[in-house]
Amino acid sequence: MIGLVLAALAALGYVGARETSVFAVRAIQVDGVSPALASRVRAALQPLEGESLLKLRAEDVSRLATALPRVEGVSYDRSFPNTLRVRVEPEQPLAVLRRGSEWWLVSRRGRVMARLAPGRLLGMPRIWVTKKIDVALGGVLGAGGGAEEAAALVPLRAAGVAARVSTVRIVDGQIVYVLRGGLELRVGTADNLTLKLAVARQILARTDVVGYLDVSVPERPVAGTNSQVSG
């Protein structure tokens, strides 16, 4: 009986704490990103101020924070009595999307992170789309609208060739990387892409190739001077 009474009192105390301002959010601490982005995250989370830490829902914290185009995800801790601690996972820049005269920064997930002034981030690979493709800040590139090209760029960093790629295009399902200097690296479809890139890296490290290097069949790489992509 005593145990039941204590449990009931504890439950009542918890419910009371949830419904009062004792544990209301009065400060939001943001970690894991630059001060500028942290400030924007705090502003995005302001609707949570005044809400009890005990009533916070993970989906609400995530929804508000990830509405920012540069935020991929968040986790949080309750620091009683009144502080919400949020750790941010930022979107990772991958490429510059070009649509006519417009320049956009795209993340590794294919999300549009920011609109850029022309000429910004010249060291990043380019993805080109037509003016018919809708591009929206915070949106994700769709099929036929740059998504495939973005996916093709993701393995480049692990393969150690990201810095050499100027742009990527897909012709009839065949991936073609254009390297700085004009060399075309043809890898065929996305199948076994990691292996194909590894083979290409070894060849490029040992041999001066002009024109194109075709590793679509990694066991039989082909190099030549004809820059026309067969289709």
Beta bridge partners of 74: 88
Element (H, E) at 29: strand 27-31
Whether 229 maps to a domain, the answer reads: no
pLDDT at 135: 97
CATH of the domain at 149: 3.40.50
pLDDT at 10: 46
Tell me, yes or no, whether 163 and 182 share the same domain: yes
Number of domains comprising the chain:
2
> CB neighbours (10 Å) of residue 4?
8
Asked if 201 contacts 161 with a C-beta cutoff of 8 angstroms, the reply is: yes
pLDDT at 121: 85
pLDDT at 120: 85
pLDDT at 230: 45
- Domain around 128: 93-224
Tell me, yes or no, whether 140 and 171 share the same domain: yes
pLDDT at 2: 63
Residues across the chain: 231
Question: Among 90, 121, 138, which residue terminates a domain?
Answer: 90
How does pLDDT run across 126-142, given as a tens digit for each residue?
A: 999 999 999 999 999 99
Which runs of E-coded beta strand occur in 91-209?
A: 93-99, 102-107, 112-116, 126-129, 165-171, 174-179, 184-188
Tell me, yes or no, whether 82 and 100 share the same domain: no
Whether 230 maps to a domain, the answer reads: no
Whether 48 maps to a domain, the answer reads: yes
Asked if 215 contacts 221 with a C-beta cutoff of 8 angstroms, the reply is: yes
Cα–chain-centroid distance for residue 67?
14
pTM, to two decimals: 0.85
Tell me, yes or no, whether 6 and 68 share the same domain: yes
Q: Give 137-166 as a 3 state SS string.
A: CCCECCCCCCHHHHHHHCCHHHHCCHHHEE
Residues of the chain with pLDDT under 50: 5-6, 8-12, 14-15, 17, 230-231
Tell me, yes or no, whether 160 and 174 share the same domain: yes
Report d(CA 180, CA 164) in Å as an integer: 6
